[in-house]
Amino acid sequence: MHIHILGICGTFMGGLAVLAKEAGHRVTGCDANVYPPMSTQLEAQGIELITGYGPEQVELKPDLYVIGNVVTRGNPLIEEIMNRGLPFVSGPQWIGDHILKDKWVLAVAGTHGKTTTTAMLTWILEDAGYAPGFLIGGVPKNFGVSARMQGDKDSIFFVIEADEYDTAFFDKRSKFVHYHAKTAILNNLEYDHADIFPDLGAIETQFHHLVRTVPGIGRVIFNGDEAALQRVLKRGCWSEKESFGRGEDADWALNEYDDGTFDVMFNGEVAGHVEWSLTGKHNRANALAAIAAARHVGVPVAQAAKSLATFESVKRRMEVRGVVNDITVYDDFAHHPTAIATTVGGLRQKIGKDKRILAVLEPRSNTMKLGTMKDALPGSLSDADLVFGYGSEQALGWNLGQALSPMGDIASAYEDIDALVAAVAKAAQPGDQIIVMSNGGFGGVHDKILKALA
């Protein structure tokens, strides 16, 4: 079958493309914006990419169009597809029908940490010999690709990042309702995606839809510290439940040490010990959830904990892009204030108080563009010594400089990327840690900063 994917360079749709090709289909696709790492991955797989959504693409005559949620009514290609009565389906539904059927699906949901937790869980299963298939919203360094069908033909396990964003312009349910997970992680839950959800309660409803799809023999592993998740589960849960967190009644807990290592506690007993290089309380919580999920499919806790010692994280998650004159430049996907705070705070914990953190931020997510979270930005950046923001009032709909003004002289905002790069390079000193945060390509600012520093 020839499938043509609209919105192919998104992390989810790009992974779908890899799975479809591995399943033996001919795959082509199009997108408005093409940038690494997804474009690089697709080209390496031999998948033909077309820039734009020109209606002439129907002349490719695919058997099926798979539609990403970035595509809206009015898009010239989708209008041509619909006018001609050509067959189309959403990405999540195609995945559910063609990839996840007859699999033991382990789904990772939550406002933050989905990608890293999914990668952790996948690596634990891989290291234990389970050879799972996976679809991750990023490129885990242990694998080098964001998706694969399975590690061997006999594996029944599939790990998937379960996004709460809507499925498609014609299906406004969250993507994860299509996955029918047997093991579901609910990592955390707070307000996000202000472009499609009016309030937190609306997102809680979608999370309960996910809970409703888990079978009775399945298991829901949830963050017991999250009041929103407690409310979700009070609506009804028909599966086994295990909690993780810092509360005394949590089934899974941590005994943490100053060097970042920790004991895994299950029902009050030490069940394993994790030694690794990752930083931040959020990553330790992610690890706890992944270990708990792996236990549901039979991986011993001690073995899962040991596997994390060789976990290499995910590209664009505190990824070192280069070091020039003892100045380190990191790339990170953080774009929600909570994620920004945990990312910068984790770096601060790692380097201590003697080194400076220069935070370079592009608030480009739909939630940030709507201004819903702009007042939380100064607080989320409190662990940074200097802050450089990028974004025009025309693009954002609000003034970034004004939003950062409570930080005083340590924060500045720029509408020109070259001016931002020049300001960062001028301010940087040996020993500084520059962390670049955006959920997009950010105009290649990482390489521009490194070049300016050199």
Give the domain CATH number at 340.
3.90.190.20
Tell me, what's the pLDDT at 397? 85
**Whole-number percent of the chain with pLDDT over 70:** 98
* Residue 317 pLDDT class (50, 70, 90 cuts): confident
pLDDT tens-place string over residues 146-204: 899 988 888 999 999 999 989 999 999 999 999 999 999 999 898 877 777 889 999 99
Domain boundary residue, one of 90, 110, 141: 90
Higher pLDDT, 80 or 373: 80
Whether residue 21 sits in one domain with residue 56:
yes
Task: Tell me the residue ranges of DSSP E strands in 99-203.
Answer: 104-109, 133-135, 147-148, 157-161, 166-168, 171-174, 183-186
Q: Which of 265, 280, 310 is where one domain is finished?
A: 310
Which residues, in sequence order, are CB contacts of 412 under 8 Å at separation 6+? Answer: 387, 388, 389, 401, 404, 423
Q: For residue 45, is it within any domain?
A: yes
Count of structural domains within the chain: 3
How remote is the C-alpha of 396 from its chain's centroid? 22
Establish whether 372 is an annotated binding residue. Answer: no
Residue 262 and residue 134 in one domain: yes
Tokens for 255?
Answer: 């005994």
Q: Are residues 289 and 388 in the same domain?
A: no
Least confident of 8-22, 246-260, 335-349, 414-428: 335-349
How does the average pLDDT of the chain come out, rounded? Answer: 91
Say if residue 114 carries a ligand binding annotation.
yes
Average pLDDT, integer, range 295-320: 91
**Helix-strand-coil split of the chain, %, nearest 5:** 40, 25, 40
Q: Which range marks the domain in which residue 408 is found? A: 319-453
Claim to verify: residue 65 and residue 86 sit in the same structural domain: yes
- Least confident piece of the model among 33-47, 185-199, 251-265: 33-47
Q: Which of 310, 330, 362 is the last residue of a domain?
A: 310
Same domain? For 146 and 204 the reply is: yes
Confidence of residue 412 (pLDDT cuts 50, 70, 90): very high
Reply yes or no: is the peptide bond before residue 37 cis, omega within 30 of 0: yes
Q: Is it the case that residue 392 has pLDDT exceeding 80?
A: yes
Residue 290 lies in a domain: yes
State the CB neighbour count (10 A cutoff) for residue 200: 16
* 151 annotated ligand binder: no
Its pTM stands at 0.80
Inside any domain, residue 95:
no
Q: Is 111 annotated as a binding residue?
A: yes
249 and 118 in a single domain? The answer is yes
Res. 219 pLDDT band, cuts 50 70 90? very high
C-alpha distances out from residue 360 to 286, 413, 425, Å: 25, 10, 11
Q: Where are the beta strands (DSSP E) in 234-390?
A: 240-244, 252-256, 262-266, 269-274, 319-324, 327-332, 357-361, 386-390
Distance CA 299, CA 333 (A): 30
Distance CA 83, CA 348 (A): 55
Region 138-145 average pLDDT:
86
Rounded Cα–Cα distance for residues 368 and 389 (Å): 13
The pLDDT value recorded for residue 258 is 82
Distance, CA of 325 to CA of 309 (rounded, Å): 30
Domain assignment present for 329: yes
Looking at the chain, the whole-number percentage of residues with pLDDT higher than 90 is 68
Task: Encode pLDDT of 101-133 as tens digits.
Answer: 999 999 999 988 899 999 999 999 999 999 999
- pLDDT range class, residue 277, cuts 50, 70, 90: confident
* 94 SS3 class: helix
* CA distance linking residue 59 with residue 335, whole number of Å: 38
Q: How confident is the model at residue 37 (pLDDT cuts 50, 70, 90)?
A: low
Are 268 and 208 contained in the same domain?
yes
113 labeled binding residue: yes
* Residue 418: partners with Cβ closer than 8 Å, 6 or more residues away: 448
CATH code of the domain containing 25: 3.40.50.720
Same domain, 163 and 69: no
Same domain, yes or no: 62 and 109: no
The packing angle between helices 281-296 and 337-351, to 10°, is 110
Q: Residue 284: inside a domain, yes or no?
A: yes
Same domain, yes or no, for 449 and 404?
yes
DSSP H/E element including 437: strand 433-437
DSSP 259-295: TS-EEEEETTEEEEEE--S--SHHHHHHHHHHHHHHH
184 with 259, same domain? Answer: yes
122 is in an annotated binding site: no
150 and 76 in a common domain: no
